[in-house]
Structure 1
Amino acid sequence: MSLSVRSLNGDSSFLLIFSPPAAPHVLSSPGFFPGSFTILLDPWLVGPSIILNSIFSHSEQRGKPFISNLKKLDPEPDLVLVSQDKPDHCHRETLSQLPADTESTILAIPSAAKKIRSWKHFRPELVHALPKYVEGDGQSVYRIVLPPPSPRGTCGEVTVTWIPARRDISKVHHAIGITYRPPCTVLSMPSPMHYIDLPMSPPPSPASPMTIASSPRTIVPSPYNDREKTLSVIYSPHGVPYDDIRPYASSYLVSESALPLTALLHSFNCVENPWWLGGNISAGSPGGLEIAKNLYAKAWISAHDADKENRGWAVKLTQIAQHAVGEVKKMLDEGTKRKVLPNTDVVSLGSGEQHRIEVG
């Protein structure tokens, strides 16, 4: 089982490819496995991103995107996720490249879903508002059931939820939580042509892969786990405080056997505006470091750090503190003395590049 993360624009547009254990190891172009589940994140491939008007904020990508049109994704992604209503994440010109009769489900935070519906490009039943995560509320997670590959197999499941920061002047600090459990076909040992009779849903697990230690802020691995492994992703390009993610991690991700975290997609660079222009725009490495360490992330992939051509009144006072891959890796390595997981891959992807994470 694996997760492949491919950057489509070198910034915060990604294609996530969740592949079941039987998938081949070689990606086809532009990158789909047979039987995989694909999620397109915040596509912005063409044209500028303009907030209010070009005088206030005008942003263009300097680099060339991996693809120039979403129609080149064949087959279409199973799911399109939009994490913000700002145009560099909810980009009308790019999203409208998808045909009006697309079969892709479009999930967006409520304000972005409202904006997308107002375009009247997609069928209304395809556009859904992401639920806000509430601990203990089963309705606060959007669920997609993946049918088994055979009548005797087990269903898989994809879940998505929205975790906004509790205190956020700029209204850009959100996290999207994603989990993937593959559908399975289990063959009997005596004859590979016969299937073991399995229930259509996984049995409850007597032990989760992670347990909460005595400190409510610490999650530690458990050596006992007999449940099917689940991949997990936190996508937070602008960052969100770990304290806002912790209830989701310590409750939901633990119950789903989805820890350690498979991938964290989070900015490396810190971006600051004056308080009256929103204050902190990207939490950068300090914020991502806390999430990666506490959730034992297998990979931390840079998001929203591309070099862009920005102009306009809103960006004149913006300050950016850049952090390279080596600096971020050093920050993580310094935590080994405090017995945190030292083997996080720290990755910055250029447009078209991908990183593959094998699990199990």
Structure 2
Amino acid sequence: MASLEDELADQLQTTLDESTKRARSTRRPLLTHLNADTTWLLSIPIPSPETRNHLYYHILIDLWLRGGQSDVAKFFSQQWHATPSACQSIPEVEAVISGIEDAAIKEELVEDLKYANGYLKSGASIDAVVVSHEFTDHMHKETLVEIPSTVPVFASQKAAGIISSWKHFNKVVKIERFGGDWRTSSTRPLPEWLGISRVAYPGADLLYYHAAVMITFSMAEGVEAVIYTPHGISPDDIRPVADANPKIKTLALLHGLQDIKLGAQLNMGAHNGLRVQRILESKYWNGTHDEVKKGGGLVSWFLNRKMISLKEAIEQEKAERGNDLTGTDLESMQDVRFEELGNGESLVLE
């Protein structure tokens, strides 16, 4: 009998085969959820693939694939995934990436067979890693050190310091705060068409729990971005993205639905996500960091978790403001596509 891990791996490959075919026909980014929580693979079409040895730029976000995680001490907080991750190791992630590239090549109209074979033999793999926070459910050492040391890591300030102390990666880059022009975040070793920046209020270098990582890229359709905020972000803090010059179109917002408190607010939940979405007017909203994990330690006794669906959040706001959406902020929500990508599922961001 097949194990749950095998079933998840088969599901992942099936959804990737379908999504990759669609992504290649439209030349659009591909977003893949590698676990039930907040580990993602973002594959962005390279504008000039002839200058590289593969067709996509592959970015891994907040890696934690297997095993437990603990912050402070195990007696205080310890967690495990409730469902095994679709990918259990970095070699399995690399196999997924190779599958994306191979499927893309089959869809690519390349007359020169030798050119196509050059891609197939390239061993395309991970191009960059993003770490949003220093907490070990976002920065899981046992997972990260499986990645080849030559892969650059882009991390928030405190996380960058910790990762550098491991002396595993050749290049660890602190993610700088977004200042209005995404092009300043296109720093080496990133290609000039791609930028990675942190969206947070000024002075939030040491306390940036409610912040976002913005991955910005220039494509034929213009400048687009995927904004990842696993704990949520204040609507006021996200506004500089909407006011950016040059203009940025938010393609996807990754923001969770659960409202979680531990005395203070941890995850800001669906109501906050609605306010952020209205400001960004993102085409897609994907839930993230909503897995109800197996937990232990003191923290598990005091967590206050409120499960709120997007429908419930919208219905509550409609009740507060009236059912007629015309001419209100709620009207813009009619066009957004909310996608709850499960463990091992992928989505073409069209």
TM-score by length of 2: 0.74
Q: Could you tell me whether the CA contact under 8 Å between 1:162 and 1:177 is conserved in 2?
A: yes
1:143 to 170, 187, 192: 187
Q: 1:341 to 1:240 in 2, by over 3 A?
A: same
Distance 2:339 2:78 in 1: 28
Q: Which residue of 1 aligns with 2:294?
A: 309
The alpha-carbon deviation at position 3 of structure 1 amounts to 2.1
1:179 is the counterpart of 2:180: no
Q: Which residue of 2 aligns with 1:206?
A: none
Distance 1:120 1:143 in 2: 22
1:351 to 333, 336, 343: 343
1:161 is the counterpart of 2:197: yes
Measured against aligned partners, the alpha-carbon deviations of 1:98-117 in whole angstroms (never above 9, x if no partner) come to 123x3x22100111010001
Distance 1:170 1:63 in 2: 31
Q: Could you tell me whether the CA contact under 8 Å between 1:166 and 1:244 is conserved in 2?
A: no
Q: 1:273 to 1:330 in 2, by over 3 A?
A: same
Distance 1:332 1:158 in 2: 37
Q: Which residue of 2 aligns with 1:53?
A: 73
- Give the counterpart letter for 1:71 in structure 2: P
Counterparts of 1:1-360 in structure 2, within 5 Å, are: 1-19=27-45, 34-72=54-92, 73=94, 74=98, 75-100=124-149, 102=150, 104-123=151-170, 126-135=171-180, 139=184, 141-143=185-187, 157-165=193-201, 171-182=208-219, 228-252=221-245, 255=246, 257-259=247-249, 261-274=250-263, 279-327=264-312, 336-337=325-326, 338=328, 339-358=331-350
Distance 1:243 1:170 in 2: 16
Distance 1:332 1:343 in 2: 17
The alpha-carbon deviation at position 62 of structure 1 amounts to 0.9
**What percent of counterpart residues are identical?**
26
Q: Could you tell me whether the CA contact under 8 Å between 1:15 and 1:40 is conserved in 2?
A: yes
Distance 1:353 1:273 in 2: 30
| Root mean square deviation, CA, Å | 2.8
The alpha-carbon deviation at position 166 of structure 1 amounts to 6.1
- Give the counterpart letter for 1:7 in structure 2: H
- Point out which structure has higher relative CO (alpha carbons under 8 A, 6+ apart): 2
SS in 2 for 1:285: helix
Distance 1:251 1:5 in 2: 24
Q: Could you tell me whether the CA contact under 8 Å between 1:298 and 1:344 is conserved in 2?
A: yes
The alpha-carbon deviation at position 332 of structure 1 amounts to 8.8
The alpha-carbon deviation at position 237 of structure 1 amounts to 0.5
Distance 1:241 1:176 in 2: 13
Q: 1:332 to 1:250 in 2, by over 3 A?
A: farther
The alpha-carbon deviation at position 164 of structure 1 amounts to 2.8
Q: Which residue of 2 aligns with 1:188?
A: none
Measured against aligned partners, the alpha-carbon deviations of 1:160-208 in whole angstroms (never above 9, x if no partner) come to 11123569897521201111113x7xxxxxxxxxxxxxxxxxxxxxxxx
Gapped regions of structure 2 (runs ≥ 5): 1-26, 99-123
Q: 1:170 to 1:251 in 2, by over 3 A?
A: closer
The alpha-carbon deviation at position 340 of structure 1 amounts to 2.0
The alpha-carbon deviation at position 352 of structure 1 amounts to 0.6
Distance 1:137 1:356 in 2: 23
Q: 1:36 to 1:136 in 2, by over 3 A?
A: closer
Q: Could you tell me whether the CA contact under 8 Å between 1:145 and 1:157 is conserved in 2?
A: no
Q: Could you tell me whether the CA contact under 8 Å between 1:174 and 1:238 is conserved in 2?
A: yes
Q: 1:342 to 1:273 in 2, by over 3 A?
A: same
